[in-house]
Structure 1
């Protein structure tokens, strides 16, 4: 409001009031002949300058000026005329304090493209002296980029935007242009963004919405690979199953089986690699892609036609399939934790951290050496495979505990996982001194039971210690899978022990034939797992493009449990095969534990086995 008034009341018909801007001689407003004359005022003030109509007759000629801009700064004269008399007063509008942010709009784009989120700042404060200008993603409350204290704070960008966002040049910033350049657009970038400006007592903001993110060529590539994997797995399953049932392993049949196993899993491996390139989730991508690639070796290991392969290939798969999967999944799934562990050492310089880190990485390195040594040489050691895997489990737990939550009780719980190792070592070194079969069987069962119990122990440790880690659920699934693989390795050791025990008797093992269960487990692994992988990835990709955010935070929680089911099926199959083959020893073990005999035939088998045991013991006593 520009004030102007007189103490003497003037009749309206004798009154003339003129508001004039002195620097430009522009008529701001006019009251003449008892009426307001809006048609006389300069167009720049039309609709913005007005008298207080009811106050004019009381001598108040103040002017209300609205929607002021920087151009309104200057000196205004109020001239009052009455016949031959006149008077005037001047009012100065100095620099106008203001802060206006504009740029609100909607953007539609495709993934992998670059977009510009507009934000223009108009203020009496020079842009380079602004206290803070920040871009935020509103729906997730994520800081995208910040301009503060005259410089761009690139380190302030959220990890998902690091290296993908930037302001324009400093020349543009000096003009008030704080528009944001967002490159390599991702599906999760969809949403509402706010440009917020703070400077002293002033604040203002503008919003920009990014919507309708279409698929990029890489997204389409992922979908195509998922569809191909699904089609290959389903279409070839009929032919593969037919050949297996007929036990036909000719060149054509083996070619079909190899395509059946390799093609869908390679397609899903490539799909997850592309998914990782697009979305940037390293641990999830590395683990899921490794699972699909390693599944090829694992499926060949379960295949009924494995013995038809070349000797060196067959030997490598038989000896290294389970151990290789264990080593690779451990490496890729826990790489992030190992990196955090290394950063913790750099901060604290604690010697115990570097010891655990060196031991853990050394165990993995030795495990890789043993895998390839057994696969490509005559070296064969089932026991060493299990021992290295079990030791790795313990040190893996210690790395987790010392990285995220040191607690004496938790450390003790992790160390308890050494128990099956201690029992197994005792069994090996003291087996020659154990005369009673009951003790021998008890120790074997104790090793197996304690190793199985290590699984809930490890799950408890991960769930408790990694409570604040975003990868907690995924790592819990991974640790369950790794412990299942460890039990499978232990089972191979127990089979070896039983084979040595059986060699002391004159009884022959029962020869087992390929069963329908073998075929069903193999088909389940080749078809069901690929279908779960392809459907999960395709659904997540489509939903993320539609919603702009992840539906499932980590696909490991879908893929790894299905992999656990397959591994358990394989373990169950091997256990049933083992029970059929070594039923005499198992019956004897049950008999000495007090179990009833169920048939005459089995009674004779047990009597024969007991007589050979007695003869063997007498011979050892004599020597």
Structure 2
């Protein structure tokens, strides 16, 4: 291989190198040169010092000046490709200057000049190897500033995490003050405060989560200088709490199947009362899932997700008791008791949901006017007060179930609460989360008008319109679908700027389903739930199985991949509950249409044209009975007694 003329190239401009770091001094040609007779000499020109030499197919380290020995190296395996750069390590302040790279062949030579213009007097060092830890443990990310600049003259130190395209501010130190971190690291990231005066800006990350996996950079600014170091947190393994959550999910799964089989076998035995076993079926798996979501919230979940799922599974047995058979032994009349159970769950869950929403509003309320904050707080207080009255009424009905003036007052307030609570919730949402406008405010008030002008569906349809029982129930269902559709879509509009908007909409849909059950029990007196055994098993077993498997899958994906698949467990939990509640509501409303007796429709049709005449016949029957009783008294008693 021959070379007729070549051009040695270097960097495009002077180099600025941090103190203590490494730098590559570029020197290369576009076409490879023959190795025979090749000689490369690097010289420090300003002090006439030999930096390094390549000759006779090898690096000649013995020719180096003492200051560059073991610090300056050729990329020996790259020389055959025309790369004659050297790697200069552990940059010192005195390394600033000019370096000449001169390349000789058997026939020609050429050279380039490299300048280290400045050596930044700021050195930041960390830990070179990746770190690993179990979830829930604490880990320390090292960042030490070794500099001639005193710590009090350091302008800024910031720890940042690169998460895909997003840069997350983990913790900062600026002008001798600690800068608050991103909410994901709040109360979990901290400096070793006594060590700051020594230039130690290491970061302690407490209660490590799986999403903490990644690359962290400690960036330091001091005057015109800046430097950084990185720390890598590797994939994290299962912690004890992760294993506990997995065990709880498996326990919920297994207990739901086992108890349901035992309950089914006992119901097939004659003269048995499986009420105690039924109570275990509707309570044990849900209590286990409550603790599973509680621990999930500690290690991986966020506040709104954890609170909503825990509250739901804590209160869920109330809904299942309403769907379950063998509840005639409950205190009070069965209809009243079962209605109050669902009413109690709706009121308690409403308090929990809107308490979390109010907390979210309060965290960002500083941008609101004082009058708006007061108004939103008053709306929240009214909603909580209505829910508390409903809770007191439901508990009073369940425990004592007696008539009286206080019961009548509570009943009246409770009825009003059913109607005004949904529109009050919308008004609160629109004002609290900045989505209010004239049109949306009207949408929020519209359900108030509809619910306050509700007809007595039985009297209005049967006596005035003379319609079939199925028709009046279909009309009521259409009305409820319209109101609930307005409510859920309004949640979507009001919370569209929130990160967990979809999760909140799923919660709202379930909450409206409970509200529908409560209202339908007020609107119709002749309602009951068919297929109670099947419905109770689906709710107690099927829904729990789906959610436990979903939680286990989400936990495993988070630990293995470092990312959540579903991102919000409310999407699964409350979507399945919405399906269950919708089926329960439809079965309750249209029970007459699914009766096995084929004569029921004929009786219903015959009932309508004779409705009023039947009432007149009943009056005539009562009058004839009274006349007959008076005749018997005339025959058996003297006139004086009759007159008296």
Q: TM-score category by the smaller chain?
A: 0.7 to 0.9
8 Å Cα contact 2:339/2:518 also seen in 1: no
**Distance apart, 1:192 and its partner CA:** 1.7
Q: Residue 178 of structure 1 corresponds to which residue in structure 2?
A: 201
1:529-558 Cα shifts (integer Å, max 9, x gaps):
111221111111111111223222211110
Q: Residue 13 of structure 1 corresponds to which residue in structure 2?
A: none
Q: Residue 443 of structure 2 corresponds to which residue in structure 1?
A: 413
Q: Residue 237 of structure 1 corresponds to which residue in structure 2?
A: 260
C-alpha distance in structure 1 between counterparts of 2:610 and 2:479, whole Å: 32
Aligned match for 1:143, one of 166, 169, 185? 169
**Distance apart, 1:73 and its partner CA:** 8.8
Instruction: Note if 1:571 corresponds to 2:585.
Output: yes
Check 1:494–1:313 CA distance in 2 against 1; reply closer, same or farther (3 A cut). closer
Q: Residue 333 of structure 1 corresponds to which residue in structure 2?
A: 353
**Distance apart, 1:409 and its partner CA:** 0.5
8 Å Cα contact 1:444/1:494 also seen in 2: no
Q: Which shifted more, 404-413 or 372-381? A: 372-381
C-alpha distance in structure 2 between counterparts of 1:217 and 1:553, whole Å: 22
Check 1:183–1:614 CA distance in 2 against 1; reply closer, same or farther (3 A cut). same
C-alpha distance in structure 1 between counterparts of 2:500 and 2:96, whole Å: 62
8 Å Cα contact 2:466/2:608 also seen in 1: no
Q: Residue 561 of structure 2 corresponds to which residue in structure 1?
A: 547
C-alpha distance in structure 1 between counterparts of 2:50 and 2:595, whole Å: 109
Q: Residue 513 of structure 2 corresponds to which residue in structure 1?
A: 484
- Structure 2's unaligned 5+ residue stretches are 1-13, 15-42, 52-59, 74-85, 98-115, 622-644
Check 1:330–1:489 CA distance in 2 against 1; reply closer, same or farther (3 A cut). same
SS of the residue aligned with 2:453? helix
**Distance apart, 1:247 and its partner CA:** 6.3
- Structure 1's unaligned 5+ residue stretches are 2-16, 22-26, 31-36, 51-63, 76-92, 500-511, 588-598
Q: Residue 105 of structure 1 corresponds to which residue in structure 2?
A: 129
Q: Residue 213 of structure 2 corresponds to which residue in structure 1?
A: 190
Q: Residue 285 of structure 1 corresponds to which residue in structure 2?
A: 306
SS of the residue aligned with 2:386? helix
Q: Number of residues paired by the alignment? A: 529
Q: Residue 203 of structure 1 corresponds to which residue in structure 2?
A: 226
8 Å Cα contact 1:134/1:145 also seen in 2: yes
Check 1:355–1:445 CA distance in 2 against 1; reply closer, same or farther (3 A cut). farther
Q: Residue 473 of structure 1 corresponds to which residue in structure 2?
A: 502
C-alpha distance in structure 2 between counterparts of 1:266 and 1:329, whole Å: 16
SS of the residue aligned with 1:136? strand
**Distance apart, 1:528 and its partner CA:** 0.8
Check 1:65–1:521 CA distance in 2 against 1; reply closer, same or farther (3 A cut). closer
8 Å Cα contact 1:283/1:335 also seen in 2: no
8 Å Cα contact 2:510/2:578 also seen in 1: yes
Check 1:422–1:71 CA distance in 2 against 1; reply closer, same or farther (3 A cut). closer
Q: Which shifted more, 476-485 or 610-619? A: 610-619
C-alpha distance in structure 2 between counterparts of 1:476 and 1:320, whole Å: 26
C-alpha distance in structure 1 between counterparts of 2:362 and 2:232, whole Å: 40
Q: Residue 485 of structure 2 corresponds to which residue in structure 1?
A: 456
SS of the residue aligned with 2:232? strand
SS of the residue aligned with 1:469? coil
Check 1:169–1:301 CA distance in 2 against 1; reply closer, same or farther (3 A cut). same
Check 1:608–1:443 CA distance in 2 against 1; reply closer, same or farther (3 A cut). closer
Instruction: Note if 1:297 corresponds to 2:326.
Output: no
**Distance apart, 1:48 and its partner CA:** 6.0
Q: How does 1:109-124 map to 2 (within 5 A)?
A: 109-124=133-148
Instruction: Note if 1:262 corresponds to 2:283.
Output: yes
**Distance apart, 1:373 and its partner CA:** 1.8
C-alpha distance in structure 1 between counterparts of 2:473 and 2:591, whole Å: 18
Check 1:572–1:215 CA distance in 2 against 1; reply closer, same or farther (3 A cut). same
Q: Residue 3 of structure 2 corresponds to which residue in structure 1?
A: none
C-alpha distance in structure 1 between counterparts of 2:335 and 2:477, whole Å: 26
SS of the residue aligned with 1:109? coil
Q: Which shifted more, 487-496 or 310-319? A: 310-319
**Distance apart, 1:452 and its partner CA:** 2.3
8 Å Cα contact 1:194/1:206 also seen in 2: yes
8 Å Cα contact 1:127/1:173 also seen in 2: yes
Instruction: Note if 1:166 corresponds to 2:190.
Output: yes
8 Å Cα contact 1:319/1:375 also seen in 2: no
Q: How does 1:365-376 map to 2 (within 5 A)?
A: 365-376=388-399
Check 1:120–1:383 CA distance in 2 against 1; reply closer, same or farther (3 A cut). same
Instruction: Note if 1:394 corresponds to 2:417.
Output: no
Check 1:427–1:236 CA distance in 2 against 1; reply closer, same or farther (3 A cut). closer
TM-score, with structure 2 as normaliser: 0.72
C-alpha distance in structure 1 between counterparts of 2:443 and 2:239, whole Å: 48
CA-atom RMSD in angstroms: 4.2
Check 1:416–1:604 CA distance in 2 against 1; reply closer, same or farther (3 A cut). closer
